[in-house]
A and B are shown apart, each in its own frame.
Chain A
């Protein structure tokens, strides 16, 4: 059995993650701590993503609609459309509000997390492929715009109804919400300027998550 090096193991990583593991790859993973750790980490991420998808609420319909529109633009899926019939993504604001109002406040963080997972999948899509910067920017905006709008709407409602018993705490919350909003704006600009920058996309994703966490925390205080 010929020994393989780290580069060769890396070339087999896609197959490894799909369960196709050669004897050479297994031997290398046994002997190389770094490659084994990396494969384990990837396996944990995959398992965690599956478990999140199974446990959390479905993200709002807008996110899937935006993803589908992006996939159609890239030609990855096609839909037969009869002449004169044009399908547009549904953007019912009333539907959003009804959905939002029906969800108990403590579940908001979970709902946002599910949406963030979907956004994260969209943002982390075809990393290894050459993609058109314009398509990345369009895809990113269409994936994040509905979530951003919803978070902003919740922010306005929540900040207006904060208990004012402790002005120090209220001031800190206002200040830090502004910090997070600024953080999101700068990350969005960075992703727009360098669409293939994975680190920038990670920061944008985390910025949304931070805002969702802070809003969930503020909602609990308002109860």
Chain B
């Protein structure tokens, strides 16, 4: 004889409610989306401090800064405030002893095109597109990707890589182990220094431009077109210098090559107006024709 006991209706209802409560609890611990709008005037300053996450900044035509934050957990909160024409955005840790994934906050930020950006992001990624104001980006491990940027661009990473596509203005980038790719740049001043990373430069050599690429080890690759014009000095103390550019000797005697390591000095296409300085301690320097 079966001994099923009828389940009281109240327990049936509770059985339905408990999973609902559990789901609600899970939802409150998962991603939280916050959106904030700030009206600004021309050339606002936008600062972002974030320990971990992806920061994506895009330009738009509105006189407004839009901040959309996706917080990885309830252990962090968004602090965003405006002081005049300055908007400060920060990820604030609410509780102690938080797991790294719970510190994550991702940002999508829309800014006027002439905004000045100051971004500090320890890990994750930083991506900026079409912003023409000055930029100061500092990361530890986060990679930095700039597209169609201009202004005075200062980037410092410890181990993060740097890529700059179609950037103009003044570019200074420093890293210890990060690698750099500067593609289709239209900058008159490029200074890139890394210790163990590689550096690739494939851009325009503007008249009176200065292009200094330096590393300790790794590869420095400079790509040129047949119509480019520049003076070049390339030195690798312990490594090699490989050159595909047909150079004419320098006009000035003090532009002689170093007696240490492999070096070359010369002009590409008559007296170049741009100056290119490539230095490596024991890495390889390649001066190659662009395809």
- A176 with B177: CB separation less than 8 A: yes
A64 interfacial contact with B, CB 8 Å: no
CB distance from B84 to the nearest CB of A (A): 26
Q: Write out, one digit per residue, whether chain B residues 51-90 have a CB within 8 A of any chain A CB (1) or not (0).
A: 1100000000000000000000000000000000000000
- A199 with B235: CB separation less than 8 A: yes
Q: In B212-268, which residues have CB < 8 Å from any A CB?
A: 216, 235, 237-238, 251-255, 258, 260-261
What band does the interface of chain A fall in when counting residues whose beta carbon is under 8 Å from B?
Answer: 20 to 34
- A197 with B251: CB separation less than 8 A: no
A194 interfacial contact with B, CB 8 Å: yes
Give the number of A-B contacts (CB < 8 Å): 84
Bound-complex Cα distance A210 to B156 (A): 12
Query: If the complex has contacts A173-B140, A199-B235, A203-B281, are A38 and B260 also in contact, measured as CB distance less than 8 A?
Result: no
Query: If the complex has contacts A6-B251, A10-B254, A197-B260, are A168 and B196 also in contact, measured as CB distance less than 8 A?
Result: no
Bound-complex Cα distance A187 to B282 (A): 11
Bound-complex Cα distance A183 to B176 (A): 10
Which one of B158, B235, B238 has the highest number of Cβ atoms from chain A below 10 Å of its Cβ? B158
What band does the interface of chain B fall in when counting residues whose beta carbon is under 8 Å from A?
Answer: 20 to 34
Which of B51, B258, B260 lies in contact with A165, CB distance below 8 A? Answer: B51
Q: Write out, one digit per residue, whether chain B residues 107-124 have a CB within 8 A of any chain A CB (1) or not (0).
A: 000000000000000110
CB closest chain-A residue, reference B236: A199
- A210 with B258: CB separation less than 8 A: no
- A10 with B253: CB separation less than 8 A: yes
CB distance from A85 to the nearest CB of B (A): 44
Which of A6, A169, A194 lies in contact with B140, CB distance below 8 A? Answer: A169
Which one of B98, B140, B251, B258 has the highest number of Cβ atoms from chain A below 10 Å of its Cβ? B140
B interface residues, Cβ below 8 angstroms from A:
51-52, 93, 98, 100, 103, 122-123, 140-141, 158-159, 176-177, 195-196, 216, 235, 237-238, 251-255, 258, 260-261, 279, 281-282
